[in-house]
A and B are shown apart, each in its own frame.
Chain A
Amino acid sequence: MDGHGGLILDHTANSPGYLENKTMCNELSKLSRCYIIPPIILEHISQKGNDKQKAMAYEALNVSAQVRGQREVLTTFAALATTPTGTKRRTIYDAQHGLTLPGKLVRSEGSKKSKDIAINEAYDGSGKTYDFYLSQFQRNSIDDRGMRLDSTVHYRRNFNNAFWNGQQMVYGDGDGDIFEHFTKSLDVIGHELTHGVTQYEAGLVYQDQPGALNEHFSDVFGSLVKQYSRKQTAKQADWLIGEGLFTKDIQGIALRSMKAPGTAYNDPLIGKDPQPGHMKHYVKTTADNGGVHINSGIPNKAFYELAIAMGGNSWEKAGRIWYRTLCDKIQPLTKFAECAAMTFEVAGTLFGQGSTEQKAVRAAWTAVGVTFTATALAAGAGGR
């Protein structure tokens, strides 16, 4: 077993994992190397998947890439090429309004500016995100192994969305009625790229509270990329996600507000921002993977409170606690209270037990109704 509780599958070796998962290994016999799959996913596929779905699981997860993200087994793969720290490799593709990914190659690292604004925004935004992670957290790209940053712009027609598909970032142009093009806002790019970081570091399952935390970490680092780029302190920052994405016809300033969840928009056509900023308003729903974009407002607000309480640049203290928590503590099924306890523990390690910083972390979570004890942490670590 690796440090994340994943199972090492090796159908060529007589390991305990092989015996326990002989069926899975037989399914994977066409694969010639060891792979690591989080147990939750293994379970899901082995219980519910048919052969085709199992094959799709590997496609979707980009398993070989996941292996590269697992530090615990890196020694096994010493021969794998790693791009030296500080080597940024960006590639931008144009889907030309079609469905095929990645699409036509239109700009690569070091090549000259395009006449197309979306291409340049994707290039510059992914570069700023890479620079932020490297300079502040010594992180070498999405997988911390120098992974190439691939982005596709002009995906589909009137497409009001942006996403990370497990391997690359994808941006729509918006319909021009509700939305502008999605590369317009730097924090959207930081948000999508961070989904990649979370995939490699924590594997947070995209459902209910773990899913809302997945969204939360993307909003936090998306906002921090923007704040760092603008050289803004916590107090100066707008704490908005997706500012400028709405057309002028929509009554709204952004998609989400970390400072004041629920206040980003209120419009006759699209309705009102549904985000809560406190546990007492937690939204129970089956839509949106159990409200992952809704309840993320609660930890978002906690992070904002912490950054303001600490003062100065948000990425220096609050951001550092959150980054180390994501990399070292968060598990696929971590919930809010467990995450809070983890940030408290990390703050103690970084700044000292009983330090002002550690106390501020507890106060920030308490302010949004997330309370925890030491047992919450133990439950979180063993409760998967």
Chain B
Amino acid sequence: MRIRFERSGGFANIPLRAQLDSAEMPTERAEKLKGLVETVRPFDQPAEAHGPVAMPDQFHYEVTIEDAAGKHSIRTSDDAASDDLKLLFDFLGAEAVRKLRNR
């Protein structure tokens, strides 16, 4: 599974971008990612989800997930995303920092 993760905004507004691939992750983290994605069912998520009014200092996300089933992008923010999506984003954010550190 390949994932393009992009996070922007927030109090700090330091953009975070990374291309992730579960095949490059150690088994334990790849399994964790698989579990999070199965819970979220990203292919059933709307491509765009935003709150009715923009709230201050929220993280914004743009995530594209690609696997054997196809490819799907989600654009949303912390004031609109479900808890399951937030858990996935937090995992991907940590993976993105890890990848950028080790490049």
Contacts and interface: CB of A to CB of B under 8 A. Distances in A.
Given A156-B86, A177-B97, A269-B101, A161 B53 contact: no
Contact of A182 (B11, B58, B79, B100): B11
Given A56-B51, A195-B56, A205-B54, A99 B14 contact: no
A273 to B, nearest CB: 9
B44 interface: no
B100 A288 contact: no
Interface string A201-233: 000011100010011001000000000000000
Contacts of A177: 97, 101
Contact of A287 (B8, B52, B58, B94): B8
Interface in B57-85: 57-60, 78-79, 83
A45 B78 CA distance: 19
B86 A99 contact: yes
Contact of B90 (A159, A179, A205): A159
A384 to B, nearest CB: 16
Contacts of B59: 161
Given A56-B51, A159-B90, A288-B9, A178 B56 contact: no
Give chain A's interface residue range (CB within 8 Å of chain B).
35 or more
Given A60-B55, A158-B93, A99 B11 contact: no
Interface in A68-122: 99
B46 interface: no
A206 B56 CA distance: 7
B8 to A, nearest CB: 5
Given A157-B90, A163-B58, A178-B97, A61 B13 contact: no
A251 B12 CA distance: 15
A288 B58 CA distance: 9
Nearest to B83: A99
Interface string B14-54: 11000000000000000000000000000000000001111
Contact of B13 (A99, A165, A166, A294): A294
A18 to B, nearest CB: 22
A288 B8 contact: yes
A234 to B, nearest CB: 24
Interface string A36-48: 0000010011001
A352 interface: no
A57 B53 contact: yes
A5 interface: no
Nearest to B86: A99
B11 A161 contact: yes
A149 interface: no
A128 B55 CA distance: 24
